[in-house]
Amino acid sequence: MKLRFDQLQANLSKGLAPIYLISGDEPLQIQEAADTIRQAVREAGYSEREVMHVEKGFDWNSLAAASSAMSLFAEQRLLDLRMPSGKPGKPGKPGGAALTEYAARPAEDTILLITSGKLDKSAQNSKWFKSLDRVGVTLQVWPIDIQQLPNWIARRMKQKGMSPTREVCSLIAERVEGNLLAADQEVEKLFLLHGAGEIDLATVSAAVADSARFDVYSLADSALLGNTARAVRILDGLRAEGVEPILILWALTREIRQLAKMAHELARGGSLNSLFSSYRIWQSRQPLLRSALKRHKVADWDAMLSACAHLDRVLKGAAQGSRWDELLQLTLRLTGTDPMARATA
């Protein structure tokens, strides 16, 4: 059964399905949909949970083994299967066969929850997907349209007892550029700093000015300026605060992708002032971008884009690597510091 995100709660109130598959490329909605299901499962008495990560070399026989194993501690349990890549053809032939077989004979007293990256048409037309959809619930999450984002932010703030003006919601929406995880963190930060009550532009400005917390935007800005010490300190702060690495990568990739395009246009004889105008770069941000473009060659930007793509695969479990080490290397590259030279210093 295919469901939309906003239909999930009502569906759960009618009873639990044996299988749930949540897929998409919007991390916050995937997380919240999965949390909603986990809560419903706990409330129904499923007190045991086993988490399985589908990474390179994953043995799909372990799914059948886990589903058939008798629990020593609880009669009802949740199998939490995480497929981060969601690439076309994933989970591959062995995985597809294992999921199809499981759907044919779901384990008793067991709920299977699968979370995945975005699944393309070929994956949705596969035998394993259709098998899961036939006996369970499949839910795809979609990025919220930029036109609807201010309303989404307003609802989020009202849930916490805040009363924002329309201008506040539009400002936050513009700042996060459609990233729900970033929008949610902005709302959470405002709530921690201000609490419930009315929120206007002046309040937001004061909250941002008073905030001692590091954020992904100050990290990107410091890296663009070439301030290595501050950028590294901010990255350490973000890690200590538990900020999701994918949010940090999103902020850095956004800057690097735009600057790579500008660097290529400059190499073809373009004017920087004209580019600032055509890309609608605010006056206050122009010195940051000017500094970064002066510091790096076209090849540097292309290399950083490749590093962003590799790190994205690492975060999704599709490639090997240390998330925070590679975020540090990317940050150092952007500041103009040679990561290898720093490592041996």
Which among 248, 228, 213, 252 is positioned nearest to 324, based on CA atoms?
248
Which among 7, 15, 14, 34 is positioned nearest to 113, based on CA atoms?
34
Output the average pLDDT for the chain: 86
- Evaluate whether 17 touches 1 at the Cβ level (below 8 Å): yes
Confidence band, pLDDT 50/70/90 cuts, at residue 69 = low
- Stronger pLDDT, 92 or 61, i.e. the higher one: 61
Average pLDDT over residues 108-112: 90
Q: What is the pLDDT of residue 318?
A: 86
Residue 160 has pLDDT above 90, yes or no: yes
Residue 333 has pLDDT above 90, yes or no: yes
Whether the model pTM is above 0.75: no
Average pLDDT over residues 306-320: 91
Distances (CA, A) of 51 to 40, 85, 115: 17, 16, 11
Q: Walk me through the domains of the chain, giving residue ranges and CATH numbers.
A: 2-141 (3.40.50.300), 149-210 (1.10.8.60), 216-343 (1.20.272.10)
281 Cβ contact partners less than 8 Å away, ≥ 6 residues apart: 275, 289
Q: What is the pLDDT of residue 74?
A: 52
**Tens-digit pLDDT profile for residues 185-233:** 888 888 887 888 998 888 776 665 444 345 788 899 899 999 998 899 8
- Evaluate whether 181 touches 28 at the Cβ level (below 8 Å): yes
Query: Tell me, what DSSP letter sits at residue 73?
Result: S
Q: What is the pLDDT of residue 277?
A: 87
Q: Which of 15-29, 100-114, 234-248, 315-329 has the lowest mean pLDDT?
A: 234-248
* Residue 240 to residue 52: CA distance in whole angstroms: 26
In three-state secondary structure terms, 241 is coil
**Tens-digit pLDDT profile for residues 252-291:** 999 999 999 999 999 999 899 899 888 888 777 889 999 9
